[in-house]
């Protein structure tokens, strides 16, 4: 059955035809099943935007403009979605808020009118294996006959530096063109990581019957032995955000919680919300201007999300009361 999405359609007005949601909306408004990816994703956006339009926070036009200007799904659209999602959560809880001023202003992304609190949202995609996978697939697209490339790392890299990815891609293409099939192991040094040496096994196999060209497959078979180093790297990204000069200026403008959308930060989702809350508190030194740090791991098909919050130990009574009230009304996970 055809379904309309009036709030989303209004936000989509005058967007280019190549907007990342355009094809999904076309599919969802046709005969797509209600539980299909297209229908669930579009419905989630509809619910988020409806909550924002019902609450009518000031300066939502700036968020709507960023939404309309999105050109990529994984980066542009999901970055603005994180801010929209946080705003919709506040709206559903009946917490009056406005979006912060943009274009260089020191406002946090969301300003809570009655609590003297701000929320600064951070969203970034970090997935070294996914980037390597995509670059290999692009490089192998025009090579005939197609091959199966199997990536097997001995740990999960949060990032693989661009120059190292380029080396792996170039070596793989050379092996394919010369018919050097089988498995080879590359060691990638990553001194910035908790796991300083990544051992990457890369197998190349004949696959003449692949209908859509070469296939790149990734095996993640290492979680039983060591999720720790990967999650340490994820924590380091939260710590870096807490040290970002622009975000520090925003935190100094008013009591502010840094909210990190970690859905695309490696495999942050494997840690439980309670443990995230406990670990976040350890990342907040007494000297930070942030009153708290939070992590959410949203899914694209859900218009709501749970949030884990760690709070700085030396808060004033006023700031602690505000954070406690926000925790209660939003149902945040805390230690």
- Least confident window among 1-5, 24-28, 97-101: 1-5
CB 28 within 8 A of CB 5: yes
Per-residue pLDDT at 3: 65
Per-residue pLDDT at 76: 93
pLDDT score of 121 more than 80: yes
Per-residue pLDDT at 7: 97
pLDDT score of 169 more than 90: yes
Report d(CA 266, CA 301) in Å as an integer. 19
Per-residue pLDDT at 1: 38
- Least confident window among 2-11, 84-93, 127-136, 159-168: 2-11
- Least confident window among 105-109, 172-176, 329-333: 105-109
Strand order in 197-206's β-sheet? 182-189, 197-206, 147-153, 215-218
Per-residue pLDDT at 221: 56
pLDDT tens digits along 294-310: 999 999 999 999 999 99
Per-residue pLDDT at 179: 93
pLDDT tens digits along 215-256: 999 987 555 455 788 899 999 999 999 999 999 999 999 999
Confidence label for 211 from pLDDT (cuts 50, 70 and 90)? confident
Helix (H) or strand (E) holding 178: none
Q: What are phi and psi of 250, to 5 degrees?
A: -65, -40
The pTM of this model reads 0.91
Confidence label for 30 from pLDDT (cuts 50, 70 and 90)? confident
pLDDT tens digits along 146-164: 999 999 998 889 999 999 9
Report d(CA 254, CA 110) in Å as an integer. 11
Strand order in 307-311's β-sheet? 97-99, 110-112, 117-123, 256-261, 292-296, 307-311
């Amino acid at each position: 059955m055809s379904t309309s999405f009036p709030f989303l359609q209004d936000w989509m007005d005058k967007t280019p035809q190549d907007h990342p949601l355009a094809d999904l909306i076309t599919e969802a408004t046709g005969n797509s099943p209600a539980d299909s990816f297209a229908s669930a994703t579009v419905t989630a956006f509809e619910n988020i935007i409806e909550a924002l339009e019902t609450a009518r926070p000031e300066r939502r036009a700036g968020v709507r403009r960023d939404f309309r200007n999105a050109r990529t799904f994984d980066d542009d659209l999901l970055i603005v979605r994180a801010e929209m999602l946080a705003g919709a959560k506040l709206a559903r809880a009946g917490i009056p808020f406005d979006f912060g001023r943009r274009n260089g202003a020191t406002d946090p992304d969301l300003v809570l009118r009655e609590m003297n609190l701000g929320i600064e949202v951070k969203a970034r995609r970090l997935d070294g294996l996914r980037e390597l996978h995509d670059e290999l697939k692009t490089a192998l697209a025009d090579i005939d006959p197609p091959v199966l490339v199997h990536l097997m790392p001995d740990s999960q890299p949060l990032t693989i530096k661009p120059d190292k990815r380029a080396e792996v891609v170039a070596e793989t293409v050379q092996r394919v063109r010369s018919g050097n099939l089988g498995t080879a192991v590359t060691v990638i040094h990553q001194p910035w990581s908790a796991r300083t040496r990544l051992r990457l096994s890369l197998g190349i196999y004949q696959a003449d019957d692949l209908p859509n060209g070469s296939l790149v497959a990734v095996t993640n078979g290492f979680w039983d032995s060591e999720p720790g180093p990967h999650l340490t790297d994820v924590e380091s990204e939260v710590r870096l955000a807490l040290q970002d000069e622009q975000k520090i200026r925003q935190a100094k403008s008013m009591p502010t919680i840094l909210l990190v959308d970690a859905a695309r930060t490696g495999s942050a989702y494997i840690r439980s919300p309670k443990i995230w809350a406990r670990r976040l508190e350890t990342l907040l030194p007494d000297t930070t201007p942030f009153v708290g740090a939070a992590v959410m791991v949203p899914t694209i098909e859900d218009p709501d999300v749970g949030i884990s919050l760690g709070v700085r130990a030396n808060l004033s009574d006023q700031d602690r009361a505000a954070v406690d009230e926000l925790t209660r009304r939003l149902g945040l996970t805390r230690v």
